[in-house]
Amino acid sequence: MPIAGENGAPLPGLDLRHARDGLSTAEVRERTDAGRINSAPTATSRSVAEIVRTNVFTLFNGVVGGCFVLLLVLGEWRDALFGLSAVSNSLIGIIQEYRAKRSLDRLAILQAATNTVIRNGARETIPAGELVPGDLVVLTAGDQVTADLVLLGEGPLEVDESLLTGESEPVPKPGGSVLLSGSLILADSGRATVLRVGPDTFAYRLAADARRFSLVTSEIRRGLEKVFAVITWLLLPTALLLTNAQMQNQGGWAGALESGRWIPATVGAIAGIMAMIPLGLLLMTSVAFAVGGLRLAGQKVLIQELAAVEVLARVDVLCLDKTGTLSDGSVVFDAVHDVGSVPASGWRPALEWFGANADASSTAAAIGAAFPVAVPLQEQGAVPFSSARKWSSVTFGPESGASGTWILGAPDTVLGFPGCANAQGMAAALASTGLRTLALAHLAARLPSDAARTGLPPELVPVMLLTFRESIRPDAARTLDYFRQQGVTVKIISGDDPRTVAALARRVGFGAGVAYDARHLPGQPHQLEETVEAQSLFGSVTPSQKRDLVRALRRRGHTVAMTGDGVNDVLALKEADLGIAMDTASPATKAVARLVLLDGRFERLPAVVGEGRRAISNIERVSLVFLSKTVYATVLSVVTGILLLAFPFLPRQLSALDGLTIGLPSFFLALQPGGQRYAPGFLRRSLAFAVPAGFCAAVCVLAVSAYAQSSGDHSLDASQSAATLTLGLVAAWILVMASRPLTGPKFAILAGMYTGLVLLFSLPLTQDFFRVGWPPADLLAFTVGVAIAGCAAIEVIGRFTGRPPHGAGRGETGLGPLTLEPASREADGGNAGHRDGPAST
């Protein structure tokens, strides 16, 4: 006989012949051998080998590695220092992705659990992973459902599905209902047969979507990828041009190969190729993110992917789950509403008894907290709460001062009699505000012995209505106000009843809005986008609808952050630009989130915003320097390649300049404070300065090299030294422009850089190692004059393109511990609330 499912629909393929004795050993073995067990592979889409291969075997690493090995073979190890940067970049990428893989591999919606089953007519306890379809499972209060089950018709169960659906109210499940894996049995007991196991279960399908590997959407990462794509196209033809030019300068290909002069020609070509690749920019970006992660770790915020500290600085829509995010998931007593005439001394002892005898119900526990009592009255009889009856009762004797029977339960059950019309109206009005409502009624006599089966008698007298509300996190309202002041749109997306969502929203400062019932969401994508854009509160939202709402917002061009703590939030967290999990979140939720608030303090989020602003502002500064270097290196390589000129530097000389004018200063710049609201257009702003500044630096170097070679009185070493000094001075001024406005720490960084340049050309050890020295007097004078002119031109370029970069100005003094005070309109340039406002200058 087939089992009837929910709504009376039959569930095909299920048979009740095992409803008493369960499966036999032979049947279990047959299904186990066929692989139909309650386990599934947990590997992510990327293995360790794939992670290593992706981060090591790239075009740039191939070029850098080949040049590095070639220089070592040629014995020019001092020119191979650039290899360290490539190794660092690969290691950082591998470690970052491996950590993400481990989190995804640990993703678990179902905790390790055992199940009581009936097999061969006897009860036995087995691991959840050994369940097979058709197994007869015994369920009691406190059990977790570990496979999709069908409840047999022995009686209803009270089930908590909040982990899966977000609905905080317990759900009564009558016989024939499907119990989804991941739910929890709160009350009553019963038997169920296994419907689906392993990959076919609801919980696993959620986890499978969540396990898909993806990196957080980072504008910085996207911008750098575009730059590297352009460099990739330029690299090979430029390398061929440059190699040919260096060979021609050594007597042509045949002469260079015969005389051995191909070695310095090769070194010169490698110098130009390596200068084009901004390897250090990736490293400095990772350092800036890592430092932000360490700072936030000290504030109990776990960063699971480094670039996540940038994303929240760009977020313009923050989507919040209600339970566990704005509320802490607990229920607190709200008020008592008098609807009857029973003396006050009667109902209080009754409530004290119900609170002192709290079972698995969080509502009963809230009554106990509101009406505490050391020793409750001794009852003469009681009927425990049942989700099927929706009420419980207690009977006291005449000597108690609260004689008679007191019934506490759902208003539609307790007040479902003609004489309770007034109380029914009050209960409906209270429930419409989103408050959880219970009714307390009195019966002068004892309940009939069969009342639990036949129902309550009509002589009940309504006494009180009790209302309850969810406990709001104390920092929720202030934190939401901060985001609204910052121009971030806040949306509450919950699986709870829309009335409950609206009531909570009013308590956290959302006004008197009405929550949209997600059961009426349009299916057409364009209409869905319009709906989610127009509404701020959503109730009765399913896990897949949460994901669809986030997708719709992203299609509208928004950068979306999503917070949550239940498995019902997993798909939305995965889809959002930034997923944020609370400390109470399920393991699955924490695994896919990019940020985890370890102490559950919602007020930590503004500090994350501050770190994101600092990171993206300083990376933009650093990018000016690195991209300028890429531009002038490319221009020098192309010009020398076309004109068949000798490349003006050795690789080691460029490595020295990189360290003094780019690497070390950029490292310290990446750690500086910064705090203005982010404006989109990172790459556009950076290139607007870097391209003309890089051209200017290249022109200065070419002018000095041409002068040195045309005079005929200067050696190759003197010409290279003059070119190195010219580039050092001009590149230093690019760094000055990127550092503005100057503060004490920045001034110290720049002073150290100029001191290093002087020591590079003055100390015998560095002169010998890097093959540099002070040029002759006439060449030195010309070099300094050209460098001054180049610095003046870069100053003009900086002012014309709006430097200093985004993040400078007021806010530059440092955020320190970020408070919940809104940013001033002056600091925001008067553009609060406008995501596409102009960059601050």
Highest-confidence segment of 153-162, 465-474, 614-623, 686-695: 686-695
pLDDT band at residue 77 using 50, 70 and 90 as cut-offs: low
CATH code linked to domain 3-35+109-210: 2.70.150.10
> Would you say residue 103 has pLDDT above 70?
no
120 in Cβ contact with 163 (< 8 Å): no
Q: Which CATH architecture has domain 301-326+474-600?
A: 3-Layer(aba) Sandwich (3.40)
pLDDT tens for 132-153 read 888 898 887 667 788 888 888 7
Q: Which residue has the higher pLDDT, 840 or 437?
A: 437
Q: What is the pLDDT of residues 730-787, one digit of tens each?
A: 988 988 888 887 788 888 888 888 898 999 999 999 888 888 889 999 899 999 999 9
Q: Is the pLDDT of residue 269 over 70?
A: no
Mean pLDDT across 346-367:
79
**Of 77-86, 290-299, 346-355, 435-444, which range is least confident?**
77-86
Superfamily of the domain at 219-251+261-275+608-800: Calcium-transporting ATPase, transmembrane domain (1.20.1110.10)
233-239: list long-range contacts, CB under 8 Å, 24+ apart: 234/276, 234/634, 235/59, 235/63, 235/273, 235/276, 235/277, 238/272, 238/273, 238/276, 238/634, 238/637, 238/638, 238/641, 239/269, 239/272, 239/273
For residues 324-328, average pLDDT: 73
pLDDT of residue 109: 44
Q: Is residue 834 packed enough to be buried (19+ CB in 10 Å), middle (13-18) or exposed (0-12)?
A: middle
Edge-first strand listing for the sheet containing 122-127: 122-127, 114-119, 136-139, 190-196, 148-151, 178-179
Kindly report, as residue ranges, where domains of CATH 2.70.150.10 are found in the chain.
3-35+109-210
Residue 442 pLDDT exceeds 80: yes
pLDDT tens readout for residues 471-491 = 787 778 888 888 888 888 999
Compute φ and ψ for 347, nearest 5 degrees. Answer: -75, -30
Q: Which CATH number fits domain 328-472: 3.30.310.50, 3.40.50.620, 3.90.700.10, 3.40.1110.10?
A: 3.40.1110.10
Mean pLDDT of 495-507: 82
- Decide if 831 contacts 838 (C-beta within 8 A): yes
Position 384 pLDDT exceeds 90: no
Question: Model confidence over 647-675: pLDDT tens digits?
Answer: 787 777 777 887 788 777 777 776 666 65
The yes-or-no verdict on residue 697 having pLDDT over 70 is: yes
User: From CA 728, how far away is CA 94, in angstroms rounded?
Assistant: 34
Average pLDDT value for the chain: 76
**pLDDT tens digits, 219-243:** 777 777 777 778 778 777 877 777 7
d(CA 194, CA 148): 6
pLDDT (average), residues 94-123? 67
The pair of structure tokens assigned to 803 is: 């430097």
Amino acid letter, 520: H
Alpha helix ranges (H) inside 661-743: 664-669, 682-711, 716-739
- pLDDT score at 392: 87
Of 726, 749, 728, 727, residue with least CA distance to 738? 749
Residue 701 pLDDT level (bands cut at 50, 70, 90): very high
More confident residue, 291 or 391: 391
Residue 782 half-sphere exposure toward CB, CA atoms < 13 A: 21
Question: What does the pLDDT read at residue 220?
Answer: 73
Active site residues per annotation? 321
Indicate whether 38 pLDDT > 90: no
Cα gap 16→5, rounded to integer Å: 13
What is the pLDDT averaged over residues 86-110?
A: 61
- Domain ranges in the chain with CATH number 3.40.1110.10: 328-472
Intervals of CATH 1.20.1110.10 along the chain: 219-251+261-275+608-800
pLDDT digits (tens, 9 = 90+) for 816-837: 333 333 333 333 333 333 333 3
